[in-house]
Each structure stands twice: as structure tokens, then as C-alpha cells.
């Protein structure tokens, strides 16, 4: 696609429910990143994909968080049993370069609100 | 642990003023420093700096890196209301993930909220 696309743009969910956030990267970009931004905070790294594999999952905050990528393209971030502290904007970025991250392109993000 | 600190956290100015935003870092194995502008949700890329002392310029925005001082500044001259945004600084460091995959990992500062009044 022309840019990184994320869906939904906003999601309100009840505490304890599972949610899935989707990221569709720029066509041909092999590197894909998920970040989280809480209110008034900078971006917090969650996970990095190169192709379909995730060499770095170190930022996932708990085992309630998981992510997968299929076909070297679309990625899904799943949060199970959501908690109020999971409320944040979840940003996805993609890049065409394997070893030099450079200017990755960000999607518009998904604003998750857990009530 | 890699660390990036931005200052000030917020800044309010009037149109036409010049502003300087600061970014300092402590990173193992530095590769580059990047500046982003974030309006609403998606950060948009402004500059990537890898060498000390070389100014990058785009219109009214400019940035320079000082590797000796482990810092960078972002200057905006003749500010306009459209410059109101969060400005994020990030530092890239090469990492080696599972399976020996090498990639660049960004550590972000907390951002500077710039508000430009008419």
C-alpha cells in the first residue's frame, strides 16, 4: 500500500476482554515494528519482525501480549485479558532496510481504551 | 540500558519566535539520531543524523548532532501555528536478535510538546 495502515483506529474494550490490532505495512518492507505510547510518554518498543520471524520480542510487557506476522506482510498484535494499564496508542512502523533502520514509516496508530 | 532525554518537556511560544529543542542520549553502540514530528498520532520523519557537526536543514527546521556531548538540537525559526506538535528524538543502535539477525533498534525520548500561539 501507499503507507502503513493500522486498524481499528480506535478501540474501546472492557477489562478482561481480548483485542487484536492489525498492521498492514508498506508493500515490500521486510522490517516491521510495534510501539506503544502511553499518555504523555515517548514511544516504547514492543517487538520487531524481520519477515515472519521476530528476532526481538523483548519489549512485550507480559505474556498477555503476543504478535505474529504472516506472508511477510500483515501483522497482528493480540492483547489477552486486557487491563486498564494497557490503554495507550499502539503504533506500527515498517522499513525496507534490514540492518539500518533509518527513517521507518509509521501508521496512524490504534488508540486502545480499556474500561 | 539505552536512554534518551529531551528538554524542555513543553514549550509555548508565539508565531515568529525561534525555538531550540534539546536531546541528549546514553546509548551503547550509537548509529544514528532521528527527529520526528508527531501530530495527532503518527510520527513523521524529519531528520536523520549520523555525523557530528553537520547541519541538516529543511525549510525553517534544522538539526545538528554533537557526538562528543552526546546530544542534538532541533531548531525551528519563524515558528508558525502549524509547527505545534510533539517533537520526538530517537537514537538508533544496532542490535543482534535471535538467530543472529542484525537490525537497528530505536530508543525514543519522552518528547517535547511545542505550542505556537498566533
pLDDT digits (tens, 9 = 90+) for A33-82: 999 998 877 889 999 888 888 888 889 999 999 999 998 899 999 999 99
Q: What is the mean pLDDT of residues A101-105?
A: 66
State residue B94's pLDDT score. 80
Say which residue, A88 or A30, is predicted with more confidence.
A88
Q: How confident is the model at residue A18 (pLDDT cuts 50, 70, 90)?
A: very high
Q: Distance between CA A77 and CA A83 in Å, rounded?
A: 15
Q: Distance between CA B91 and CA A115 in Å, rounded?
A: 34
Q: Are strands A31-37 and A88-95 parallel, antiparallel or unpaired?
A: antiparallel
Neighbours of A41 (CB within 10 A): 13
Q: How far apart are the first and last CA of chain A?
A: 33
State residue B53's pLDDT score. 86
Contact B91, B30 (CB under 8 A): yes
Q: How confident is the model at residue A102 (pLDDT cuts 50, 70, 90)?
A: low
State residue A103's pLDDT score. 62
Chain A contacts of B31, Cβ < 8 Å?
100
Cell output for A5:
495502515
CA angle (A37 as vertex; B75, A94 as ends), nearest 5: 80
Q: Is the pLDDT of residue A1 over 50?
A: yes
- Mean pLDDT of the residues in chain A: 90
Contact A106 B110 (CB under 8 A): no
Q: How confident is the model at residue A100 (pLDDT cuts 50, 70, 90)?
A: very low
Residues in chain B, pLDDT under 70? 97-98, 101
Strand partners, A10: A111
Chain B contacts of A32, Cβ < 8 Å?
none
Mutate to test the interface with B, among A53, A55, A113 (most CBs of B within 10 A): A55
Residues 6 or more apart whose CB falls under 8 angstroms from that of A21 comprise A6, A7, A8, A11, A76, A77, A78, A79, A90, A110, A112
Q: Distance between CA A31 and CA A108 in Å, rounded?
A: 17
Say which residue, A31 or B60, is predicted with more confidence.
B60
State residue A99's pLDDT score. 43
State residue A97's pLDDT score. 64
Residues 6 or more apart whose CB falls under 8 angstroms from that of B12 comprise B115, B117
DSSP3 helix / strand / coil % (chain A, rounded to 5): 5, 50, 50
Contact B33, B25 (CB under 8 A): yes
Amino acid at each position: 500500500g501507499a503507507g502503513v495502515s493500522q486498524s481499528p483506529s480506535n478501540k474501546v474494550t472492557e477489562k478482561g476482554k481480548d483485542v487484536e490490532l492489525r498492521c498492514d505495512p508498506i508493500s515490500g518492507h521486510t522490517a516491521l515494528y510495534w510501539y506503544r505510547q502511553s499518555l504523555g510518554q515517548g514511544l516504547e518498543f514492543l517487538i520487531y519482525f524481520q519477515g515472519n520471524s521476530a528476532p526481538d520480542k523483548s519489549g512485550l510487557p507480559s505474556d498477555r501480549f503476543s504478535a505474529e506476522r504472516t506472508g511477510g506482510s500483515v501483522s497482528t498484535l493480540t492483547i489477552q485479558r486486557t487491563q486498564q494499564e494497557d490503554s495507550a496508542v499502539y503504533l506500527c512502523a515498517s522499513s525496507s532496510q534490514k540492518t539500518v533502520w533509518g527513517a521507518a514509516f509509521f501508521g496512524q496508530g490504534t488508540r486502545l481504551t480499556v474500561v | 540500558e539505552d536512554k534518551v532525554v529531551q528538554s524542555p518537556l513543553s514549550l509555548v511560544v508565539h508565531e515568529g519566535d525561534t525555538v531550540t529543542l534539546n536531546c541528549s542520549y546514553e546509548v551503547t553502540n550509537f548509529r544514528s539520531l532521528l527527529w520526528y514530528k508527531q501530530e495527532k498520532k503518527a510520527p513523521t520523519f524529519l531528520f536523520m543524523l549520523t555525523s557530528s557537526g553537520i547541519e541538516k536543514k529543511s525549510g525553517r527546521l534544522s538539526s545538528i548532532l554533537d557526538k562528543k556531548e552526546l546530544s542534538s538540537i532541533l531548531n525551528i525559526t519563524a515558528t508558525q501555528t502549524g509547527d505545534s506538535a510533539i517533537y520526538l528524538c530517537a537514537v538508533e543502535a544496532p542490535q543482534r536478535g535471535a538467530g543472529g539477525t542484525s537490525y537497528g533498534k530505536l530508543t525514543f525520548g519522552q518528547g517535547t510538546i511545542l505550542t505556537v500561539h498566533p
